[in-house]
Each structure stands twice: as structure tokens, then as C-alpha cells.
A and B are shown apart, each in its own frame.
Chain A
Amino acid sequence: MTTEMHLPGPLDTEIASRRPAVEPRPPRELTLDDIEALALGAWILGTGGGGDPYNKLLNMRELYRQGRSVTLIDPLSLSDDALVAVLSNMGAPLVGQERLADAAFAVKPVRTMERYLGRAFDAVMSLEIGGGNGVHPLMVAALTGYPVVDADTMGRAYPEAQMTSVAVANLRCYPLTLADIRDNEVIIPRAESWRWMERISRKVCTEVGSIAATCKAPRTGREVKDHAILHTTTKAIDLGRAVMEARVRHRDPVQAILGACDGLTLFTGKVIDVDRRATEGFLRGQARIEGLDRDAGSLFTVHFQNEFSVGYRDGEPVVMTPDLICVVDSVSGDGIGTDVIRYGQRVTVLALPGPEVFMSERGLEAVGPRAFGFDLDFRSVFEGGRS
């Protein structure tokens, strides 16, 4: 089947000259250890959402046992006209706990897109590095042999399609392919906007059981270089390694996270109440954390819409998206999801710097506090230097 080609191109060709010339890193074959670290780091960068990467990690262990492997390439090494598949598993994490993750299933929408475009991809990359989708494209890479681009479009996890760096850059939002575990495939050749693409694809996803493998609007090498968030796979691997090493050496894993990501500790305490509700198809709510040690006597409230979005200390907003708000187990450093955070857990709330692209006016419009229903002007905890 051949179809009219709709190869997306950059809307703003001047951008190409903005970035300084940097020598790309050579491609490298990821070890299984790298992938174990990636899963751990991605779960922390998921800021409470994106789903636990464990089942995808298990798939990678199986694929490596079968002798398959994954090569990670520097986005800066992509040729301008290279074609990159942007991949994600879409749906409710709870459904993923029953339907598991399946590498062959993740490949289906990639092949559908290639048939639709009449052209093969050159590489694959993550829609979001946070949560299970940080590992998702590696399953496709292991089966297809395509390299994985060391980049994503969120630098974390976010709930909706328009909350990406490529949407902020106003790149084309279509076409999109989506596959169900049965013999159902859907192509969305065109959509009015990123928000429309979100609405239509969400509807389809729900119909096939609230879980679907997707291949988002393909990107050219030029677009990836200019508008993706670069080197986030490596960042997640380094983060995971730092935590693993701290555990082995009996050092504090929470400090290791801060060190690896240049982050700040905002609060340490015990979860005393969790209020969750489903509104407009999302998991919304808040967790209240009672201070311990240095924070004794204070109360921290962290709000979430799938991911943690805004944090209040004693009623005052102190941290908000697009800064990353991570809630981790105070002892192990493991990320804690908004679907599993619960009474009695001893947690540390961290802030990690968010991607630069979201600090712009358009970026804040897409993922700032108002995009999540908070009438707050964004103020980064990292503003004005670090104390």
C-alpha cells in the first residue's frame, strides 16, 4: 500500500542555526545493566505517572537472553532527512498490570506507519522518558534492529499529547497509528490540532480496552535535533546507576538522585492522607504529607493529574510544573506513583529542573500550572540561583 507522503518538515527553518555545533557522541550498544538503570531512572523521572516500567524491563531481559540488543545513538548524529518514529504505550497503567507489555505488539503501529508512509524508519525514540514509556521504544528497537535516539519530547511524563516539546514548537501533529492486541489497527491521517489528536486517539484507546501501542507523528532528524529534549535516555540511565550504586554502597539513594539531576529536597515526611478522584478521564487528587525530622510541624500537600503537578508547603505554593516534582521512598529512593501512593509511606519530595523548552510562554501555556487548573504564575524553585 502506498499513500500520499506527508513527511513533516520544520515550520521554522531558522531554528536550525540556533544550536551550537557539538560533536555527536558515538553510537553505543546498551548493556542489560544500562537498561536496568534506565527503568529505575525513568520511574523516578515519571514524577508519579507513566506507569511502572517493570514489565517492560522484563521484556528487555527476555530479549537480551535471546541474543538481541539495542543501540543508542546521539540525536546530533541524525541526518536532517532521517525519519524517526516517536513511540508510546497509551492507556491506563492499571490495565497494563493485567495485559502486561509485549514487544511484538509494540512493533505493530510502527509497521503500520511505515506502510502508510511508504517508507521505512531510520530510528525510534520515546514520546516520554518518564515511566514505562522510557523503556517502550527499546522493545521495538530490539525486535526491529532500529537504533534508539537518545532523546524524548517531555523530559519526564505528562498526561496529554499536546504536552510535548514538539507540540510547543508547533510541529505537525499527524499522522498517528495505533494498534490493539487483537487484529485492530487505526490510522489517524489528520487532526486539526494536538488537542484534537489527543481527544480522538484517547477515544480509540478507550474502546480497545484502555491500552494501545501508538506511533505518534513521525519526526525528521532535523526536527529531533531542533525540538526534541536531547540526551534524556542517558540522563535516566545515569540517574538509575547513581541510585543503584548508592544502594550497593549503603549510601543515601535520595542524595544520589539529587546529585545526578542537580535537584533539591523540598520536604521529608509521612503520607497521612490521599484523596484521589477520576475527572475527565484522569487520575486527579492530592496527597498530604506530615513533616518529619527537619520538616516536623509542617504539612506538604502535593496535587496530581496522573503526574505530580503542584506542591504547597503549609498552604503556600512552593513548587509547580514544569519543574519536576518527584515523590520517592525515603529509604530506597524508588519512585512512588500517584496510583500507589498511600497512607503511612515515608517519602521525600524532590524538585528536579524541567526542560528549558517548557519555560517559554508557549511552553508554560501547554504544561504550566494553569494547564492543570491552578491559577498560579509559574515560578521555578531553581530561580535566582540555588541556596
Chain B
Amino acid sequence: MKRIGVDVGGTNTDAVLVDGADVLGAVKTATTEDVTSGVRTALRELAAQVGDAITGVGAVMIGTTHFVNAVVQRRHLNRAAALRICLPSCASLPPMVDWPQDLAALVDGGKYLVQGGHEYDGRPLMPLDEVAVAEAARQMRTDGVRSAAVTSVFSPLTAEFEERAAGILRAEHPDIQVTLSSTLGRIGLLERENVTILNACLADLANRTVKAFEEAIAESGIDAPLYITQNDGTVASAAIAREQPVFSFASGPTNSMRGAAFLSGIDDAMVLDVGGTTSDVGCLRAGFPREANNVVQVGGVRTLFRMPDLMSIGLGGGTIVQAEPFTVGPVSVGHRLTQDALVFGGDTLTLTDIAVAAGLADIGDRSRVATLSGSLVNRTVMDIHRRLFETVDRMKTDASEVPLLAVGGGAMLAPERMDGISEVVRVEHHAVANAVGAAIAQVSGEVDHVFRDMDRDELLRVAEDMARAKAVSAGADPSTLKVVDMEDLPLAYLPGRSVRARVRVVGDIGETQPGGITHG
């Protein structure tokens, strides 16, 4: 099936057309302030480049940093009410207790704690206080708050109370959009609640953005469903992505690493993605990014997202270089590269200019960097090579030599050889690796559940079956499903041989329309 992959980054919006293992076309355009007009331009240019090949496209997969940037930059966020079903427990730590003050003040649409929740084994902790939920809903309506985040104790085991509360909220306040924590997170109430509130305060932006993406596709004359790529290298249908914008937070680096694996045919490697502003180093294992160990902070908020383990440094094609005193970055000209850089007629010395002067790249007007001092060029190249090497070396987990895949618009800045690296691999279309990664994204199904009184083999088999069923209902082709993560954790002190098992399967998108994407 032909697929279009689009990556909307902070600097560039890229689009590719992929058919099986072939990249039929690739374009790179500037990201626009409104995001969507950039997507429209990219799709138009791609269609112009590939001609008739554009017909028969089965899906458009968009990866975007738009939602995570909204949180980090505190822009375009709506207010959200936090409803926690927990009393009499958890009373001393209210929602958003460990948030940065500015973000909490911006999005706080009221905090409500009501009686209810479950035990670790699914018994109710206390009955749900439905009257209190209804009162909270009426207060939200009075306050004009139209998005709510609902979190109940142990809801990853049973979502019953969250679902009942959502029904009451909608009955009392028909305009409200509700996010349930059980659809987003794992065990760990505060972190799951944090993610739920972040999701709820992105509700308006997600609605607008996904709608605009759909319009951009329609205007391009492409008749194919829209998918949004997720943190883990899989996709969600537009309808689901609109409800779960938080799952796209880390899709940019994931797409670039997956795209690098696809383009090079190498599944185990280090990946260096040199963009306009930063360079990210990650590690590919079996074609997927290695994930971070612990708690991941997004805009200062603790989450338990599964995110690629990345190390970022402020080096990219747009990074500003100063001769006296000698500094390289961290400030970048960002999306103004094609106006501000010397080779593009501007008057700011950037790493792109250094690369052209050093003969590493042939972009723009070479004569405009002819007068740069050779010693400054050499010194800068040595400095960035050393810093890139140090970053790659810190991310390596063993001493043996592995390949390094150099991708991104600034990949020319990567050194030709490095200690501990068997070879530096550069591939065709490396500059649009992230859009390629979007085009080849897969579908997943995950379960995270506590099982009792079952032996290990049996419970893992049951968990895997549940995960497979979720993936298929999300649109996966059952014949392509494979388990990418399986973990069982016996629970100390709990009776009846309780085991928490987490299983995740992924597969290629099937030819039929998905019914919805689910996350454990």
C-alpha cells in the first residue's frame, strides 16, 4: 500500500511518498506559523514531484511536535478541570501538586476530589460518590470549563468508576470533553493523572489541528484517511489522535530513528539526527528506539510515558557560530535558516555555512563563505565533531563497535569516523528520515494488567492474546503482529500469586479501516 508520510518539525515540514520498500518522492518545505499551510504546501509539492504516482495512496501519516511544543512553550492550551476519584485516600496531594507554577496557573480549571476508587485486586475501595461528581460537573459548567480529566485509583485495572463519572459529567454538562486516565496511563496515580490533565488541556488544539490536517489533505485532492504517529513508532487514526494528543509527544525522534532503520536496512545501530536546532542521539534495537528508563518530564511535568531514550545537544544546521569569543550555539536561527544563513544571502554565520566552507555540503551560494578564515572553519568542525562523538559515546551501552546512522537536514556535520563506531552510514533521503518513519509507522496493542492465581506461561499467553486483540481492533494485519515487549512483575506482599504483566504487540496496518487504536 502506498503511503504518504509527513513530518511537521520546528524548522521543516517534510513529506515523502513510500510504496513498500521504495521512496517514490520526497520534499522539504519550511514549517509555517499556522502549521497547516506548511502541510498543504508540502503535499502540493510532493504531488507535483511524483506526478501520477500520487494516485492510490492508502493513508497519510503525520508526525508532529505541535502538541508537545504547546506544552513546553505554554501556548494554545485550554483550561481543564481535574476530577480525581480517590477519597478517603490521596487527599493530601491534590492534582497538579508537583507541576511548574506557571503551567498549573495557566490550565487550572478546578480540582475535585470525590469518594471512590479500587483496590489492587479490583475490589472497590469505596463506592463512587455520584452526587459529588454531578455537583462537580455543574460547577465546571458554571465556570465555563469545557474539558475534564478524570482519574480513579487503580483505574488501569478497572475503568468502571471513570466511565460512570464520564457519563454523569456528560449528562450534567453536554459540552464537556472528557479524558479518562485509564485510556492513557499505567499504574502510578500522580503521573497518570498528570498525563490526563495535559491531554485535557490540549483538547481544543488537538481538535483544531487534526481538523486542519484533514482539510489540508482533502484540498490536495488526496482521498486517504489521516493517521497521526505516536511516541512508540505506531499510529492512531485521526479520531483517536484527536482524543489523545499526548501520545504524539515524542513522535518526532521516534520517526527519525525508525526512518533511519528503514532507509539503511540496519536494525541495530546508534542514530544521530542532526536537525536545524538540535542533534538527537538514540539507540535502535530491533528496529525500534531504546526507551528511557524512568520518569520522563514534559514541560516540567512528571509522566511515565514510554519515550525513546535520547540525548540532545544544541547543535544543528541553523546553530549560530561566533568567532570572537569563539562559541558554537546553543542559539539557532531555526526556521529562518533559508533567510539568515550567509549562503542563503543573510548575515548570520551558521553551521550550515561552516559545512559549505569546509566542503562538507554544497548548499546555497558558496561564494558567500569564501572569505571565512580557514582556521575558524577548522576549529568549528573539530569542536562539533568532538561534541557529537562525546554524545554518541555516552549513549552507547556496550564497548563493541556498532554502526552509526547519520540522518536529518544537518547530517553532513557528522564526522566520517568515530571511536567505537564500525561505520558512519549515510543513506539516500536521510534528510527526510522522519517523514519516512511516519510513512512506515505501525499499529500496536498493549495490556498492563494484574493477574491472580495463574501460572506464568498461562498468564503471559492470556496477556498476549489480549494485546493481539487490541492491535487487530486498532487496524493491524494479524499476520504481521509480533511481540515487542513482554514483562511480568510479581507483586510483593499481595496474596494469590498476583503478577502484573505488560505485553505489547505491533504490526503493519491492514488493508481494512481500523476500528480504533487502543493503548494499555
Contacts and interface: CB of A to CB of B under 8 A. Distances in A.
Q: A55, A182, A296, A345 — which one has the most chain B CB atoms within 10 A of its CB? A: A55
Contact of B492 (A58, A283, A334): A283
A11 interface: no
Interface string B454-496: 0000000000000000000000000000000001111111110
A1 to B, nearest CB: 23
Given A58-B98, A292-B399, A95 B93 contact: no
Interface stretch (B103-111, B183-191, B232-240): B183-191
A346 interface: yes
Nearest to A91: B493
Contacts of A209: 119-120, 125
A290 B400 CA distance: 13
Q: Size band of the A side of the interface?
A: 35 or more
A283 B498 CA distance: 11
Interface stretch (B84-92, B171-179, B380-388): B84-92
Nearest to A277: B490
Given A98-B188, A98-B189, A100-B89, A278 B498 contact: yes
A270 interface: yes
A365 B89 CA distance: 38
A182 B487 CA distance: 33
Contact of B91 (A102, A202, A278, A346): A102
Given A98-B153, A210-B120, A181 B89 contact: yes
Contacts of A270: 397-398
B126 interface: yes
Interface string A184-217: 0000000000000000001001100110000000
B431 to A, nearest CB: 30
A205 B493 contact: yes
A55 B302 CA distance: 12
A55 B190 contact: yes
A287 to B, nearest CB: 13
A103 B97 CA distance: 15
A283 B491 CA distance: 7
Contacts of B188: 97-98
B185 to A, nearest CB: 11
B520 to A, nearest CB: 16
A206 B495 contact: yes
Interface in B270-318: 290, 293-294
A100 B90 contact: yes
A346 B397 contact: yes
Contacts of B92: 59, 62, 100-104
Contacts of B125: 181, 209
B293 A345 contact: yes
A296 to B, nearest CB: 6
Interface string A88-117: 000111110111111111000000000000
A339 interface: yes
Contacts of B91: 102, 104
B399 A94 contact: no
A282 B398 contact: no
Q: B397, B399, B499 — which one has the most chain A CB atoms within 10 A of its CB? A: B397
A292 B396 CA distance: 11
Contact of A99 (B153, B492, B494): B153
B494 A92 contact: yes
A102 B153 CA distance: 14
A276 interface: yes
Interface residues of B, number: 38
A38 B493 CA distance: 26
A278 B491 contact: yes
B93 A278 contact: no
B28 to A, nearest CB: 34
Given A99-B90, A270-B398, A296-B399, A206 B493 contact: yes
A306 B187 contact: no
B190 A94 contact: no
Given A59-B93, A202-B493, A98 B187 contact: yes
A340 B497 CA distance: 19
B500 interface: yes
A342 interface: yes
A277 B492 CA distance: 9
B119 A182 contact: no
Contacts of B89: 99-100, 102, 105, 181
B67 interface: no
Contacts of A206: 493-495
A103 B492 CA distance: 24
Nearest to A331: B394
A58 B97 contact: yes
A185 B490 CA distance: 28
A24 interface: no
Contact of A62 (B93, B120, B153, B497): B93
B93 A100 contact: yes
B120 A94 contact: yes
B88 A92 contact: no
A59 B93 CA distance: 7
Nearest to A65: B97
A159 to B, nearest CB: 8
B163 to A, nearest CB: 18
A62 B495 CA distance: 34
Contacts of B487: 342
A329 B91 CA distance: 32
Given A55-B190, A182-B126, A92 B93 contact: no
Contacts of A345: 293
A97 B397 CA distance: 30
A102 B490 contact: no
8 contacts: A58-B97, A94-B187, A94-B500, A95-B120, A209-B119, A209-B120, A290-B398, A344-B293
Given A206-B493, A278-B490, 15 more contacts: A55-B190, A58-B93, A92-B492, A94-B120, A97-B187, A98-B117, A98-B189, A100-B89, A100-B189, A101-B93, A102-B90, A202-B493, A344-B290, A345-B293, A346-B397
Interface of B: 88-93, 97-98, 117, 119-120, 125-126, 153-154, 187-190, 290, 293-294, 397-399, 487-495, 497-500
**Shortest 9 CB-CB distances between A and B: which pairs?**
A278-B490, A283-B492, A92-B493, A100-B90, A181-B89, A102-B92, A99-B89, A97-B188, A209-B119
